[in-house]
C-alpha cells in the first residue's frame, strides 16, 4: 500500500497531546501544552508511509484553534486534516462521526486505522464502523487484543502494532 491509500487517525487529548486537568477552555490558550512522549518522533517515522489526521471530540476548540495548538508542539506539519466535533456535529463513537471522515478522506474503512486513549469512544467506536484501532493505554497495565484492535502502553510501540495488523490483513 502507498501513502495515498491509507490513513492513521489520531485522537487528540491524551493521545497526541497531554491534557492538563487544571486548565480549561481551548487548549491553544493554555499556558502550557506538550505532545505526549515520543509522539513527534513516531509520527515523523510513520509520515512517509501514511496519511495522518486528527479525529477529536474536543468541544472547547475550533478547528483553527486545534491547528494552532498542534503548531505549538510541531505536530501541525505532520497532519493532513483535523476532524473535530465542532465541525462535524457528531462525536465519537457515533457512526456519523466516522462516516463523515471516511467520505472526506475518500477511503474505505479497511484503509483507515484509529489510535486513541478511550477504549469505548475511540477503539470500539471505530471498530463498529469497520475501522481497526490501537488503544493507547498509558494509565494501566491492562492489555486488550482482538481482531479489530491492539493495545500499546508506549507510543513507540505503534509501528509494531500497525505491522501486526498488516500481517493479518488478507
Residue 3 near residue 107 (C-beta atoms within 8 A): no
Q: How far is CA 15 from the centre of its chain?
A: 7
| Boundaries of domain holding 41 | 3-168
Chain mean pLDDT for the chain: 95
Residue 145 belongs to a domain with what CATH number?
A: 3.40.50.1000
Residue 46 near residue 10 (C-beta atoms within 8 A): no
Residue 53 near residue 81 (C-beta atoms within 8 A): yes
Report pLDDT digits (tens) over 38-94: 999 999 999 999 999 999 999 999 999 999 999 999 999 999 999 999 999 999 999
Residue 93 near residue 86 (C-beta atoms within 8 A): no
Question: pTM for the full model?
Answer: 0.95
Instruction: Report the domain count for the chain.
Output: 1
Amino acid at each position: 500500500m502507498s501513502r495515498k491509500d491509507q490513513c492513521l487517525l489520531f485522537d487528540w487529548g491524551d493521545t497526541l497531546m497531554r491534557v492538563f486537568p487544571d486548565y480549561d477552555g481551548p487548549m491553544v490558550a493554555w499556558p502550557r501544552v506538550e505532545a505526549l512522549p515520543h509522539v513527534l518522533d513516531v509520527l515523523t517515522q510513520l509520515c512517509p508511509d501514511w496519511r495522518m489526521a486528527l479525529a477529536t471530540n474536543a468541544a472547547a476548540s475550533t478547528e483553527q484553534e486545534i491547528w494552532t495548538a498542534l503548531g505549538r508542539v510541531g505536530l501541525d506539519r505532520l497532519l493532513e486534516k483535523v476532524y473535530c466535533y465542532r465541525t462535524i456535529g457528531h462525536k465519537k463513537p457515533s457512526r456519523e462521526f466516522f462516516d463523515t471522515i471516511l467520505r472526506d478522506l475518500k477511503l474505505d474503512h479497511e484503509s483507515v486505522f484509529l489510535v486513541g486513549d478511550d477504549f469505548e469512544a475511540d477503539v470500539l467506536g471505530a471498530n463498529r464502523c469497520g475501522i481497526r484501532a490501537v488503544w493507547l493505554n498509558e494509565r494501566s497495565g491492562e492489555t486488550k487484543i482482538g481482531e479489530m484492535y491492539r493495545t500499546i502502553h508506549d507510543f513507540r510501540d505503534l509501528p509494531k502494532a500497525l505491522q501486526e495488523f498488516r500481517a493479518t490483513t488478507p
